[in-house]
Amino acid sequence: MPPDLEAGIAALGLVDHHVHGALRHVVRRPAFEELLTESDRPIPPWTTAFDSQLGFAIRRHCAPLLGLEPSAGADAYWAARAALPPEEAARIFLRAAGTDCWLVETGHHGDRLFGPAAMAALSGGHAAEVVRLEAVLEAVAGAGASAAGLREDFRAALRERARDAVGLKSVVAYRHGFDFDPAPPGAAEVREAAGAWLRTLDRGGAPRVADPVLLRMLLWEGVATGLPLQLHAGYGDPDIELHRCDPLLLTRWLRAVEPTGTDVLLLHCYPFHRNAGYLAQVFPHVHLDVGLAVNHTGARSAAVVAESLELAPFGKILYSSDAFGPPELHYLGALLWRRGMTRVLGAWVADGEWTEADALRVATMIGRSNAARVYHLDE
């Protein structure tokens, strides 16, 4: 590996532009293992979540931070890990990540996780908030909005919630898929859909928005704020129908959003990251990352990083871990990204395709400066 490149990437203070909090409570081993897979089913008794690329990567790379040998056994790892209070575990791994700034999406199980301020304090870095649109709408509905007032109440609540946020996030991929009508919904349509949804709440339903009209409404309201809008794309838990989460299905909606000037960030994207790269090349407002997949592909993550470096202009690719829960994931996302970038760019430098200076410049763009520009982090 070219030595300056390796050192430069190792020293980069990253912006993790899409991440969740680290676990704030003690968990037992089954719960810990369930956080190592996107499955929401119990781990089958004949196996362990450690027998996966992510599990192997944790044993390999996280064990040494707990005083164990690299690739310590799963039981030994868990024994050492379980001995640490949550704050202590978070402090160890978050600090080791070398992440300067965490953009924390707070809309999913926020009560189980450290919030942005705690993430900053525990890591010794900075943090800012990304607000999940669905969570805001569900809170508004839960607080007793009327069908006629839902949109206006949502808009007001979003204005309030997003006052200090640097970005917004939507999980429309989970709730419906990307095969929705790209046009903003009309007032009558929204009122009708709101009425139907709120009536299910009156009957005791959980406030979970999955109606495509309401999802379109919250997307367009989000776009109207001008804040960068993150969209989960590709791989996720078994709620999704993955073929409906191909970001190419957003093409018409992306064209419709383009005139507003709002930036759109396609998150994760695996296994559709090449498709996302195409969108990032042709649409000035579209960006992508391959977070989540980097952690979950472990020893294969350099291949995923390499594939993200094809069609997308270098100013449109961002780093994220998409870590949720175990702070190992916050650390590992950064570590595997650094290793992958060092390996991929390093090979191009070694082959004479890229200069070392260009390689470090691109790593810096992806690792931090693109995020700083999109989210206005220096302001």
Positions that interact with a second copy (CB under 8 A): 37-42, 44, 46-47, 49, 51-53, 56-57, 60, 70-71, 235, 237-238, 241-243, 246, 248-249, 251-252, 255, 270-271, 274-275, 278, 281-284, 293, 296-300, 303-304, 306-307, 309-311, 313-315, 348, 351-355, 358, 362, 365, 373
Closer of 109 and 243 to a second copy (Cβ) = 243
Provide the b/e sequence for 203-222 (b: ≥16 CB within 10 Å).
Answer: eeeebebebbbbbbbbbbbb
The minimum distance between CB 353 and a second copy, in angstroms, equals 4
Residue/partner pairs of 78-81 with CB below 8 Å, 24 or more apart: 78/29, 78/32, 81/32
**HEC letters along 85-135:** CHHHHHHHHHHHCCEEEEEEECCCCHHHECCHHHHHHHHCCEEEEEEEHHH
Nearer to a second copy (CB atom), residue 56 or residue 157: 56
- Degrees to nearest 5, angle at CA 64 with 62 and 66: 80
Minimum CB distance to a second copy, residue 318 (Å): 14
How many other CB atoms are found less than 10 A from the CB of residue 86? 18
| Complex with a second copy: residue 199 or 255, whichever CB lies closer | 255
Token output for 244: 């409906």
Closest distance to a second copy from the beta carbon of 25 (Å): 25
Q: Which is nearer to a second copy, 146 or 355 (CB)?
A: 355
Report strand pairing: 264-268 vs 99-105.
unpaired
Q: Please, what is the minimum distance in Å from the beta carbon of residue 20 to a second copy?
A: 19
- 3-state secondary structure (DSSP) of residue 289: coil
Q: How far apart are CA 289 and CA 313, in angstroms?
A: 12
Nearer to a second copy, 2 or 116 (CB): 2
CB of 250 to a second copy, least distance (A): 10
Q: Give the residue with the Cβ less far from a second copy, 120 or 280.
A: 280
